[in-house]
Structure 1
Amino acid sequence: MEYRTGTYGWTLDPEKIRKSVDWQLQMLETDYIDFGFIHCIDEEADLQKVIEGGTLDYMKKLKHQGVIRHIGLSSHTPEIVEKVLDMGLIDMLMFSINPAYDYRHGEYAIGTVDERSALYRRCEAEGVAISVMKAFSGGQLLNAKTSPFKQALTEYQCIQYALDKPGVVTVLPGIRGREDLKKILGFLDASREDKDYSVIGTFAPRDAEGNCVYCNHCQPCPAGLDVGLINKCYDLSRAGDTLAKDHYMNLGKKAGDCISCGHCDRRCPFHVGQSERMKEIAAYFGK
């Protein structure tokens, strides 16, 4: 990013980046930056420019010097993010997550349902934190007239949806002023019902059915299981998260405690056969 004109812009010119970094350090009266981001890398050509043009080498140098503590990436394209993850460079990913994009609606709805879900799980498994952008799809999801689903969602539903994705540590919604900020902060005191986004199960695409999204609409479980968390531990463990099994083993109630009453099966908006899945998970973890 290049800020010296009063607004931000993009540049891959190493000299301009150097001057911008120096200017930011001076203006912020500090000698280091927590996260140095490679922004808006959405296509293979963008990534090659960063590599071949010297931008990436310069950022590595700054990190080695301690000027940058961590390297981050912002992108809308799962395939590109996967390639950068293969390089082992980043600690944080800024990525666009909302029901529209995850279910193939909108300009940045890149990748299939499975590809996007796999990316989130990989980030958590590898300790790459996700910071969510475009949680409201540029505001389109908040209005029935502009929503691709012809039904409005609330800010709180969209925020909770993003927070429930593996790897997500924060959601940064855009605001227009103080009233928007006050409304967004109301999320912290909102009820579970206000945050319940299970309505998206009524317009989710066919390939999203049968996949647990950890919404916990199935709660309360008569046997006391946290069905969403059990599913998340299972999915993350299979994705390579070495800590997921420990988290599962420390749960008070495990998949093997399922009494197969069918309560969660009936309530799941995504038509997941949770009772059968609990048997599968219990066999995988051994309890």
Structure 2
Amino acid sequence: MEYRELGSTGIKVSEIAFGAEFLVERPYDDTEELIKACEKAGINFVDCWMSEPDVRSHLGKAIKPNRENWVIQGHIGATWQNNQYVRTREMDKVIPAFEDFMERFQIDTLDFGMIHYVDQIEDYNEIMEGPFIEYVRKLKEEGTIAHIGLSTHNPDIGLLAAKNPEIELLMFSINPAYDMFGSMPDIEEYRKDDAYDGEMFGLNPVRAEIYELCEKNGTALTVMKGFAGGNLLADETSPFGVALTPIQCIHYCLEQKGVDSIFVGVKTVDELEESLKYCNATEAEKDYAEILKNAPKHSFEGQCTYCGHCAPCTSEIDIAMVTKLFDLAKNHDEVPASIQEHYNNLKFNATDCIACGDCEPRCPFSVHIVDVMLDAQDLFGF
């Protein structure tokens, strides 16, 4: 197992982490078996957003013997009402639900207190301007939580969180399918039958900006939905028309800038073992580029994913950055001032391209990089 540091926190966690959502309504023995399998494999990071009482109690009991080895993400705003999960910002519900979490996990300090499931701008603003964030700040000041995190599926919220110095960890849904989308205020949009009917190709530049901001700002970035709810693992349900393996999905996520760890949601030890095969996988087994490049639907052929494999550039251009700024700007009637300024501040830009073409054979998606540099020159000027 390899380990990465979570942003600027100084905390090291396993690249593969345990997402415990499938332990709801399962007996304690199942939880204990999976926790022991995680510990044996070197997994030291767990996320629990679930509010169902037993799953919290079971996880707390299973982790307790080796608590010092575990890093825990726990969610604030996930409540249990009338025997069902409810996401809420009502403080008379939020506070007792979080206190219940701490009691059932049998801990005094939670590593990451996650502002739970923020997918609408209005919700984000309400949280950041009201009693919810005041409560979270109080928890941190008192030492009940060590760090503040936030979970979202919406790139617009992800950008706000990545820019907010109070948010030390962003938990975001990342996979090759979701990464084609821009703003998405409701995760159910990803699951609609016609969601992938339009023309979408490659990594959306807004998402690329999130990943880069997290890396630049030292915001920890953890992954949920890495398999797109399992849809990427079968030809019939994959929006690309072809399945990827768990190894390929995990590698895609861990290759994105800023990403520190991916939570895998598994029901059994056998399913966990499928994901753990990543630890000993060959480069050929990890390679997802050939599949995405040649996919019968939504091929990434010719589309930059800002992966940086084209480097090094003879003229020292950050090709991925220039391409991302070009993609962000090209669909506007006029280049937005903020993007133009970012481009102007680059030490080397598209005008420095000598069209040598050395970068193009290294691109896994066969992007015509020299042509992109020429187009960027025309768009941004000299």
TM above 0.5: yes
Displacement after TM superposition at 1:119 (Å) = 1.0
What are the equivalent positions in structure 2 for 1:130-209 lying under 5 Å apart?
130-199=221-290, 200-203=292-295, 209=302
The match for 2:106 is: 29
Q: Is the alpha carbon distance of 1:210 and 1:146 closer, same or farther for their aligned partners in structure 2, counting shifts above 3 Å?
A: closer
The match for 2:35 is: none
Displacement after TM superposition at 1:61 (Å) = 1.1
Contact 2:293 2:300 in 1 (8 A): no
Amino acid of the residue matched to residue 169 of structure 1? D
Gaps of 5+ in 2: 1-48, 56-77, 79-84, 183-187, 326-355, 374-382
Gaps of 5+ in 1: 219-224, 240-259, 279-287
What are the equivalent positions in structure 2 for 1:44-63 lying under 5 Å apart?
44-63=121-140
Displacement after TM superposition at 1:132 (Å) = 0.6
Contact 2:214 2:221 in 1 (8 A): yes
Q: Is the alpha carbon distance of 1:208 and 1:64 closer, same or farther for their aligned partners in structure 2, counting shifts above 3 Å?
A: farther
Number of aligned residues: 250
Query: What is the SS of the residue equivalent to 1:270?
Result: coil
For residues 193 and 50 of structure 1, the distance between their equivalents in structure 2, rounded to whole angstroms, comes to: 45
Q: Is the alpha carbon distance of 1:4 and 1:232 closer, same or farther for their aligned partners in structure 2, counting shifts above 3 Å?
A: farther
The match for 1:270 is: 365
For residues 129 and 40 of structure 1, the distance between their equivalents in structure 2, rounded to whole angstroms, comes to: 17
Contact 2:240 2:299 in 1 (8 A): no
Amino acid of the residue matched to residue 259 of structure 2? V
What are the equivalent positions in structure 2 for 1:252-267 lying under 5 Å apart?
262=358, 265-266=360-361
For residues 94 and 198 of structure 1, the distance between their equivalents in structure 2, rounded to whole angstroms, comes to: 24
Deviations 1:214-270 (A, max 9, x none): 385x8xxxxxx778xx9989749x99xxxxxxxxxxxxxxxxxxxx684x6245332
Amino acid of the residue matched to residue 54 of structure 2? G
Query: What is the SS of the residue equivalent to 1:170?
Result: strand
For residues 66 and 43 of structure 1, the distance between their equivalents in structure 2, rounded to whole angstroms, comes to: 29
Contact 1:113 1:208 in 2 (8 A): no
For residues 233 and 22 of structure 1, the distance between their equivalents in structure 2, rounded to whole angstroms, comes to: 48
Percent identity at matched positions? 34
Q: Is the alpha carbon distance of 1:50 and 1:160 closer, same or farther for their aligned partners in structure 2, counting shifts above 3 Å?
A: same
Normalised TM-score (structure 2): 0.56
1:214 is matched with which residue: 272, 294, 307? 307
Bigger fraction of residues in strand: 2
Normalised TM-score (structure 1): 0.73
Deviations 1:144-190 (A, max 9, x none): 01111111111111100000001100011211211101111111011
Query: Which structure is richer in relative contact order (CA contacts within 8 A, separation 6 or more)?
Result: 2
> C-alpha root-mean-square deviation of aligned residues, in Å?
3.7
Contact 1:197 1:215 in 2 (8 A): no
> Which range moves more in the overlay, 164-173 or 199-208?
199-208
Contact 2:360 2:366 in 1 (8 A): yes
The match for 2:189 is: 107
Q: Is the alpha carbon distance of 1:130 and 1:85 closer, same or farther for their aligned partners in structure 2, counting shifts above 3 Å?
A: closer
